[in-house]
Structure 1
Amino acid sequence: MTKLRPLMFVGTGSDVGKSIIATGMCRILRQDGYHPAPFKAQNMALNSFATPEGLELGRAQAVQAEAAGIPPHTDMNPVLLKPSSERRSQIVLNGKPIGDKDAYEYFRTIGRGELKAEVQAAFDRLSQRYNPIVLEGAGSISELNLQSSDLVNMSMAEYAGAAVILVADIDRGGVFASVYGSVMLQKPEHRRLIKGILINKFRGDIRLFEEGKRMLEKLCQIPVVGIVPYFRDIHIEEEDSVALSKREMYAREGKVNVAVVLLRYLSNYTDFARLEQDPRVHLYYTNNVDELSEADIIIIPGSKSTLSDLYELRRNGVAQAIIRARREGKSILGICGGYQIMGREVCDPNGVEGDIPRLPALGLLPTTTTMAGEKITRQMRFRFLDRSEECLGYEIHMGRTEPVEGAEVSPLAHLSDGRDDGYWLDDRCMGTYLHGILDNPSFIDYLLAPYADRIDGSHEPLDYEAYKNQQYDLLADHLRQHIDLPLIYQLISSDD
């Protein structure tokens, strides 16, 4: 098979749709008989995933790998930054945490040198195994103050010899200025790498932008390779929680209403993607106490900074609302950091998360958590309660949770390596460290069982793997209709 040049999608800003476009291109290339793989040198996200080797990478690259039909690997995202406060992030290198750094320290020192070789080595390993590599940039390529320490945008494109497509979000407005400015602010050697412009999230009749397309091409001397309409009926797991603010936040009749507590440092919100598509469920994200009171089930999700989020829940009244919901017979489920928050206390004597040494938690489970420096990251098979069916999930957490002295040992899940996980108090109150537990239909059925009388009609069970593959195919079809695919193939078949 012909060796293709790497293809890279960079952006005029954050949240312009680079990840989704890269996901769709991974699917198209796979459909067309190639063996593509995604690559993002540096990702900043709280949404991560455990590889089969028990290492950590950004969830977006795991989704892109799934679209490409290959297992996720840390070479696809060698540097992952997980914000733990406004100014500090945990640095995950090649799947393992190497410490926390503040933004200035990272971008002014570490980013310039020692990580660049690791990033380039990861790309080289990946490019030897797959064809082509579909790269993704981060944020805007026009942050002039960061260009000298850039690992992920145009310096990566230059190293990879990639054909670069600049993605712009026309729905934001100012598309001419953002595209032209992004191109003109590049160094000449980087400007030459930009081979195409893609206009994303277009609303209305595309014919109305034909003149705009010609104007952009004349201004930038770069072809517009596609005008991609905004879509709502294709569901792909998104990279960050910006999307959560766009979801409906109210209860519905005829469904089981599930509220996910909108934490400040919410992580792995894709834990709820399968549940969100269940026809029996209306799922919404909120930190409003009135909206929480309308829910049948409240889920406290994972957190990158459990103590900070717990402090905020106690300050803003959400903690009291959750406790009140439990007293009223509502179901409460905690996952990872949410499981820690459901206990009696969370302790951090060594300052793993920050400056808060201890906080009383919600007291819904008879457990106590002590933060530990070593991160546990692994995929896991398990059975829950006394069920015989084997389920799948994964762990990404720091901390050890145990029953308090005198409390009964009551695990929610039994892991395939012989360990127990979580705590089960009753059918409406439980916690677990297992991300992905809600991807298992049997556990969803168990969670919804107390509310069977509220569900209108009968519903066929959802085959979530088949559903996800259908969505990748729909995304590929959407892009095929609206991008100049022959031109893109021409660009990545040429060394110019």
Structure 2
Amino acid sequence: MEMQYKLRPVMFVGTSSDVGKSVITAGFCRIFKQDGYAPAPFKAQNMSLNSYATPEGLEIGRAQAVQAEAAGIPCHTDMNPVLLKPTTDKTSQVILNGKFIGNQTAKEYFMSGDRAALFEEVKLAYGRLASRYHPIVMEGAGSISELNLKARDITNMRMAIAAGAATYLITDIDRGGIFASLYGTMQLLQPEEKACIKGIIINKFRGDAALFQEGKKIIEELCGVPVVGILPYFRDIHIEEEDAVALQQKRRNAVSGKVNIAVVLLGRMSNFTDFDRLDKDPRVNLYYTHTEDGLSGADIIILPGSKNTIEDLIELKNNGLAAAILDAHQSGKTVIGICGGYQMMGEMIADPLKVESSKGEIAGLGILPVTTTLLAEKTTRVCEFTYRGYPELCRGYEIHMGETRMSNNNEVSSAATAIFADGHADGYFVSEKCWGSYLHGILDNPVVINDIVAPYTDEKVDTKDYSSFREEQYDKLADLLRANLDIDLVYQHLKL
């Protein structure tokens, strides 16, 4: 389709969290790109432990980076001006326009006034983005009917009205109760909010959607807007999930005949998308666990990133997993640490500024001869590097608040896991069965995957370039949306 007319922004909101907003937003980014437009994603405020580094070395939610990839453009902080990263059950790091501006409790953040100043920042970011791209493909957060928070909302219908977005309400039929959730959501909207809603998308339908035609008609009569389509529940299209709810489906167990890789399920685990590429390797059975039995069946144990490394390490020591990880290491199993997990594998983590915890410092697992000092300044950057001297150029990104040195206070270089083009060293490498790295995305690179599974299998696979694989998935997702949604009707709603 040739680009023929200017489009107004489109927004996808939900009856609740985890209904599929992020994935559908990514799908529409790809559809508009395919149809000759120049789309860009936008989510005013994101609460997530999955984040990503922009080319400028700033931080945004990982979901918006994925959506930007689907749109075929570099990610930018204007796509996600406010990011909240929970550090405890009550406190979050606040990232504004890609930069850490401090920690706030939920009460301080959500209950202080109408957040007019923050909303102005969000609208400025939106305006900058809309001057460069169109249509803007917007995503809401959680439910749009949280009445106790609506006056302070900067993410959902307040933003839809400010942008003049044609808005679609998504619900998850797999959960059940969609008649009540859709009707209730619509009834709780103010007239100016309801006027934004152009249609409903029913997501995650199992079986023959033709059997739901009566239900579709009832929903349209109750809600006063069309159901623009019913999307099937799918497992054969692989798009990164934003919500940690997705991890619940990945708590599998060890199996015979595969290289079993256990990711330690931390309380404040961050960037679990680090393991998506590994999960696609046919040689591998990857699962998440927080039990000693779960670790005992693994060939490879990975300590992932954490938003609160010290508190998560204390929990590992208290629940017996720290001892189980040490036992696995001593018995010759592979133990790898990424970012916060790398810090945990060292001898000591010091937090003199109380960035993460009131503890001040804590002994690490002692697997690697390094010590970490947590700092107020955050390191955020996209990197190209070589792994262990292999010639292949690898890609990843850093997001951490800490500096790690050898325990004798020398720079970690002679035993580095990765070397950047400028000679800068990252991580500490003991052997192919024991290393740590700050690099998120290091396990997206085939040379690294092949190296860690080599001790456990002689099987060779065609490790297709992961970026090509991801491109295929966005196209498959766009095909699925086109086949099951009334895309022509959406275009009619978007005509200015």
The TM-score range, normalised by the shorter chain, is over 0.9
Do the aligned partners of 1:278 and 1:462 also contact (CA within 8 Å) in 2?
A: no
Aligned to 2:480: 478
- Number of residue pairs the alignment of both structures matches: 491
For residue 301 of structure 1, the aligned residue among 294, 300, 304 is 304
- Return the offset for 1:464: 1.1
Do the aligned partners of 2:380 and 2:398 also contact (CA within 8 Å) in 1?
A: yes
- Return the offset for 1:107: 1.1
Once residues 54 and 111 of structure 1 are traced to their aligned partners in structure 2, the CA distance between those partners, rounded to angstroms, is 30
Once residues 132 and 408 of structure 2 are traced to their aligned partners in structure 1, the CA distance between those partners, rounded to angstroms, is 52
Do the aligned partners of 1:50 and 1:379 also contact (CA within 8 Å) in 2?
A: yes
Note closer, same or farther for the CA distance 1:406–1:220 as it changes in structure 2 (3 Å cut): closer
Amino acid of the structure 2 residue aligned with 1:460 = D
Aligned-partner SS, 1:372: coil
Once residues 389 and 218 of structure 2 are traced to their aligned partners in structure 1, the CA distance between those partners, rounded to angstroms, is 66
Matched, 1:354 2:357: yes
TM-score normalized by the length of structure 1: 0.97
For residue 447 of structure 1, the aligned residue among 436, 445, 452 is 452
* Structure 1: gaps (5+ residues): none
Once residues 284 and 336 of structure 2 are traced to their aligned partners in structure 1, the CA distance between those partners, rounded to angstroms, is 15
For residue 396 of structure 1, the aligned residue among 392, 395, 399 is 399
- Return the offset for 1:167: 0.4
Aligned to 1:132: 135
Aligned-partner SS, 2:365: coil
- Return the offset for 1:110: 6.8
Aligned to 1:77: 80
Superposed CA deviations along residues 363-404 of structure 1, whole A, max 9, x for unmatched, are 111111111110000011112223233211110000111111
Amino acid of the structure 1 residue aligned with 2:435 = M
Aligned to 2:228: 225
Once residues 202 and 356 of structure 1 are traced to their aligned partners in structure 2, the CA distance between those partners, rounded to angstroms, is 48
Do the aligned partners of 1:112 and 1:148 also contact (CA within 8 Å) in 2?
A: no
Superposed CA deviations along residues 163-187 of structure 1, whole A, max 9, x for unmatched, are 0000011111110111011111011
Aligned-partner SS, 1:145: coil
Aligned to 2:366: 363
Aligned to 1:423: 428
Instruction: After the TM superposition, list the runs of 4 or more consecutive aligned residues in structure 1 that deviate by more than 4 angstroms.
Output: 406-409
Amino acid of the structure 2 residue aligned with 1:430 = W
Aligned runs of 1:195-210 on 2, under 5 Å?
195-210=198-213
Once residues 65 and 491 of structure 2 are traced to their aligned partners in structure 1, the CA distance between those partners, rounded to angstroms, is 24
Q: Please say which of residues 359-368 and 410-419 is displaced more in the overlay.
A: 410-419
Amino acid of the structure 1 residue aligned with 2:317 = R
Matched, 1:280 2:283: yes
Aligned to 2:54: 51
Aligned to 1:94: 97
Aligned to 2:155: 152
For residue 263 of structure 1, the aligned residue among 249, 252, 266 is 266
Aligned to 1:247: 250
Q: Please say which of residues 12-21 and 280-289 is displaced more in the overlay.
A: 280-289
Superposed CA deviations along residues 149-169 of structure 1, whole A, max 9, x for unmatched, are 110000000000000000011
For residue 320 of structure 1, the aligned residue among 307, 320, 323 is 323
Matched, 1:436 2:441: yes
- Return the offset for 1:267: 0.5
Q: Please say which of residues 105-114 and 280-289 is displaced more in the overlay.
A: 105-114
Do the aligned partners of 2:114 and 2:151 also contact (CA within 8 Å) in 1?
A: no
Amino acid of the structure 2 residue aligned with 1:444 = I
Amino acid of the structure 2 residue aligned with 1:16 = V
Once residues 126 and 289 of structure 1 are traced to their aligned partners in structure 2, the CA distance between those partners, rounded to angstroms, is 48
Do the aligned partners of 1:91 and 1:98 also contact (CA within 8 Å) in 2?
A: yes
Aligned to 1:235: 238
Do the aligned partners of 1:257 and 1:281 also contact (CA within 8 Å) in 2?
A: yes
Matched, 1:10 2:9: no
- Return the offset for 1:15: 0.5
Superposed CA deviations along residues 253-306 of structure 1, whole A, max 9, x for unmatched, are 222111111111110111111111112211111111111111111110000000
Aligned-partner SS, 1:474: helix
Once residues 309 and 325 of structure 1 are traced to their aligned partners in structure 2, the CA distance between those partners, rounded to angstroms, is 19
Aligned-partner SS, 1:227: strand
- Return the offset for 1:474: 1.0
- Root-mean-square deviation (CA, aligned residues, Å) is 1.3
Identity %: 59
Do the aligned partners of 1:334 and 1:430 also contact (CA within 8 Å) in 2?
A: yes
Aligned to 1:414: 419
